[in-house]
A and B are shown apart, each in its own frame.
Chain A
Amino acid sequence: MRKLKAGAACALLLTSAGCMQYLVQPPQPSLAGTPQTVQANAYLGGTVQQPAFVSAARCRNGEQLGRVLVRRNFWQGFISWVSLGMITPATVEYTCANAGDPPVGGGDS
């Protein structure tokens, strides 16, 4: 039983090794639309990037970014590890932000 538990712990460590995620968001997120996913690769320790930069192309009409999440799953981490960081794939997920708060209309003034 103890060996089984140790094996399970090792398996868990292996599957989570190399995985990561970082979330960036403003203090009051106001999201516009749904998250858009872009697969990105960095080569040679980030010297070269594909795409050259992640364009938040769905954010239009003055919208900025509402949330950015960078994720790396087990396989992406594995590739990075076996290539000694020469190839570092990640998944970038961005969501647009509403372009400000619309003014409140109406009233009796």
Chain B
Amino acid sequence: MAAPQPSFNPKTLWQNFHESYKQAIVGEWDISMPQQAAPLTVADLKETTVQFQKLIAEARQKGLKARAVGSSWSLSKAPTTTGWTFNTNRLRGRFKVPAADVDPAYPGSADQKAGLYLFQCGNTVADVNKVLEGDGHKRALFTSGAANGQTIAGATSCGTHGSALGFGALHDHIVAIHLIASGNSHFWIERKSRPVMSAAWVQQLGATLKRDDDDLFNAAVVAFGSFGVINAVVLETAPRYLLETRPATAKLDEALWKVIGALDFSTHPLFKDAGKPYFFQAVINPPTDEVLIMANYRKDGPASYQPNYDLISEPKSIGPGFDALSIVGVILDKAKQAIPPFSQLAAKQLFDTKPKTGTPGEIYGFKPPLLHVASGSIAVALADARKTLEALIALYKKIGPVPLVLGCRYVRKTPALLGFNKFDIGLMISLDGVDSDNTRKFFSAAADRLDELGIDYTQHWGKVNAYTPARVQKAYGGNVAKWLNKRREVLPDAGDRAVFDNDYIAQRGLAG
């Protein structure tokens, strides 16, 4: 049976999942798997490659921009294009990498070798969790963001992270990338220091193998769709484990500052017996000194454990409607005195205060969707954690209440050239709240304040950010030129690069 061909939809207005912005486009293409009911094969990957190459070539020939779009999850305009969007969320092929296809020089352990999985770009984080944690595999991701609706390619391309204290971000699971760059080129990219797939397998795929250095991989893994279309990635995974959540509230006192500002769990009453958690998050509501804490401890589960991912809304339950925040944002812009109680109520409403135990895919599982959320994130070195948080709390008090809270999460360093998690141990401060004028002003003022204080910081590419070319340069230094050069290595022709340029990267000095 012939493979389904891409289907054009003359839709001219695209908006992100959370409906925080809109973008005029020329149309969208739905791309389908060559065969839905059978396991993914190399022939399927080749067929999808040919389909993408035809579309990219046609876009270039028509003078259109183009970009692959997964779940449209980004709050930043990273995935936008003025031309064609390629909807990739039907491309959900997956396979466990057979030992015979692993390069003999793969430096990973036997367990790592047994835990290599290829996922096509359209698998969501939820899909990845379900496959890995299922009966036949009993594996897991090392870390995960709070949400699971993003596609694996979209989430990793924009630097999504979690708060596993001993691991990096979601993109740090990736060890190989299949990149379709232009109408006549596609690459299999790995680090020279970590070869994964055998040359024979890559040859069967028909891709050009690129693993002469580490830099190309480190550039392409966080590139927000600017290097072309990521068709598939190979992930390293962990043996399946469970997380036991221990939610709590605590006063922001010196003992808690030791935890939040230095990850010192030795003296605070909540942790001195329990020890260092696997995952730790603290949510500060600036008008109060009450901090919501989520400490998750890793434990082994029985082999017979059956995850249940269902999100069920009880018939008589009451909660915020899908679009509740669009009205709330307007109200809070006009009635600032309502913000502190609202923030407290919202933080408690959205914060799961019931202890539970489950796989990472259950704990960071499906959540009731909400439109018009606003979120930006700033990362600083752990050494600057307290100074930065105190500056942001002072800024909050100075410019007046803002409908947001400060979420503190911690991530290890990535080798990705433009990785959000560039610090050895980074504090990722999520500024999470309601999309409103005041919130957007705070995002901008926060970056200005850190500049004034001379604090080294990065910003989350997939969330609202105040990056300028100067700030990108200051954050990443020589890595910016390396990233641009590596982009030119896979897209040597200016016309091919132009297809994947957008305003977002142009405004950050990363286009062309």
Which A residues are within 8 Å of any B CB, using their own CB? 8, 12, 16, 21, 23, 25, 27-34, 36, 58, 60-62, 69, 71, 98-108
Query: In the complex the two chains form, is B311's CB within 8 Å of A28's CB?
Result: yes
Tell me, yes or no, whether B218 is within 8 Å of chain A by CB.
no
9 A-B pairs closest in CB distance: A105-B39, A106-B95, A105-B95, A27-B310, A106-B96, A107-B96, A23-B322, A103-B39, A32-B90
Query: In the complex the two chains form, is A21's CB within 8 Å of B322's CB?
Result: yes
Bitwise, B37-53 to A at CB < 8 A (1) or not (0) is 11111000000000000
Query: In the complex the two chains form, is A61's CB within 8 Å of B131's CB?
Result: no
Query: In the complex the two chains form, is A106's CB within 8 Å of B39's CB?
Result: yes
16 further contact pairs, Cβ within 8 A, besides A25-B369, A29-B366: A12-B331, A27-B310, A34-B72, A36-B11, A60-B7, A61-B32, A102-B94, A103-B37, A103-B39, A104-B95, A104-B137, A105-B96, A106-B39, A106-B97, A106-B101, A107-B95
How far, in whole Å, are A36 and B322 apart by their CA atoms in the complex?
A: 17
Query: In the complex the two chains form, is A32's CB within 8 Å of B89's CB?
Result: yes
Query: In the complex the two chains form, is B366's CB within 8 Å of A102's CB?
Result: no
Q: Return B411 CB to nearest CB of chain A, in Å.
A: 27
Inter-chain contacts of B93 with A (CB < 8 A): 102, 105
5 contacts between A and B (CB under 8 A): A12-B327, A29-B366, A30-B126, A33-B89, A101-B127
**Known: A100-B36, A104-B95. Contact between A28 and B310, CB under 8 A?**
yes
Partner of B131 from the list A25, A29, A99, A104 (CB cut-off 8 Å) is A104
Q: How many residues of B contact A (CB 8 A)?
A: 54
How far, in whole Å, are A68 and B97 apart by their CA atoms in the complex?
A: 37
Query: In the complex the two chains form, is A104's CB within 8 Å of B92's CB?
Result: no
**Known: A28-B311, A32-B89, A102-B33. Contact between A108 and B39, CB under 8 A?**
no
Q: Return A38 CB to nearest CB of chain B, in Å.
A: 12
How far, in whole Å, are A15 and B179 apart by their CA atoms in the complex?
A: 48
Tell me, yes or no, whether B118 is within 8 Å of chain A by CB.
yes
Query: In the complex the two chains form, is B309's CB within 8 Å of A61's CB?
Result: no
Tell me, yes or no, whether B454 is within 8 Å of chain A by CB.
no
Q: Return B302 CB to nearest CB of chain A, in Å.
A: 22
How far, in whole Å, are A95 and B299 apart by their CA atoms in the complex?
A: 38
Inter-chain contacts of A32 with B (CB < 8 A): 30, 87, 89-90
Partner of B92 from the list A21, A60, A62, A101 (CB cut-off 8 Å) is A101
Q: Return B334 CB to nearest CB of chain A, in Å.
A: 6
Q: Return B447 CB to nearest CB of chain A, in Å.
A: 31
Query: In the complex the two chains form, is A30's CB within 8 Å of B127's CB?
Result: yes
Inter-chain contacts of A98 with B (CB < 8 A): 89-90, 92
Tell me, yes or no, whether B130 is within 8 Å of chain A by CB.
yes
Query: In the complex the two chains form, is A102's CB within 8 Å of B39's CB?
Result: yes
Inter-chain contacts of A62 with B (CB < 8 A): 36
Inter-chain contacts of B39 with A (CB < 8 A): 102-106
Query: In the complex the two chains form, is A28's CB within 8 Å of B32's CB?
Result: no
Report the nearest B residue to A66, measured CB to CB. Answer: B89
Tell me, yes or no, whether B467 is within 8 Å of chain A by CB.
no
How far, in whole Å, are A25 and B313 apart by their CA atoms in the complex?
A: 10
Query: In the complex the two chains form, is B322's CB within 8 Å of A69's CB?
Result: yes
Tell me, yes or no, whether B71 is within 8 Å of chain A by CB.
yes
Inter-chain contacts of B85 with A (CB < 8 A): 34
How far, in whole Å, are A48 and B369 apart by their CA atoms in the complex?
A: 32
Q: Return A72 CB to nearest CB of chain B, in Å.
A: 11
Query: In the complex the two chains form, is B36's CB within 8 Å of A34's CB?
Result: no
Query: In the complex the two chains form, is B36's CB within 8 Å of A61's CB?
Result: yes
Query: In the complex the two chains form, is A34's CB within 8 Å of B37's CB?
Result: no
Inter-chain contacts of A105 with B (CB < 8 A): 39-41, 93-96
Q: Return A9 CB to nearest CB of chain B, in Å.
A: 10
Partner of A28 from the list B95, B309, B327 (CB cut-off 8 Å) is B309
Query: In the complex the two chains form, is A28's CB within 8 Å of B92's CB?
Result: no
Bitwise, B235-250 to A at CB < 8 A (1) or not (0) is 0000000000000000
How far, in whole Å, are A107 and B321 apart by their CA atoms in the complex?
A: 43
Tell me, yes or no, whether B495 is within 8 Å of chain A by CB.
no
Inter-chain contacts of B311 with A (CB < 8 A): 27-28
Inter-chain contacts of B89 with A (CB < 8 A): 31-33, 98
Query: In the complex the two chains form, is B309's CB within 8 Å of A108's CB?
Result: no
Inter-chain contacts of A106 with B (CB < 8 A): 39, 95-98, 101, 118
Inter-chain contacts of A107 with B (CB < 8 A): 95-96, 98
Query: In the complex the two chains form, is B126's CB within 8 Å of A100's CB?
Result: no
Query: In the complex the two chains form, is A58's CB within 8 Å of B310's CB?
Result: no
Tell me, yes or no, whether B312 is within 8 Å of chain A by CB.
yes
Inter-chain contacts of A23 with B (CB < 8 A): 321-322, 369
How far, in whole Å, are A106 and B331 apart by their CA atoms in the complex?
A: 54
Inter-chain contacts of A104 with B (CB < 8 A): 39, 94-96, 131, 136-137
How far, in whole Å, are A25 and B126 apart by their CA atoms in the complex?
A: 15
How far, in whole Å, are A105 and B128 apart by their CA atoms in the complex?
A: 14
Query: In the complex the two chains form, is B97's CB within 8 Å of A21's CB?
Result: no
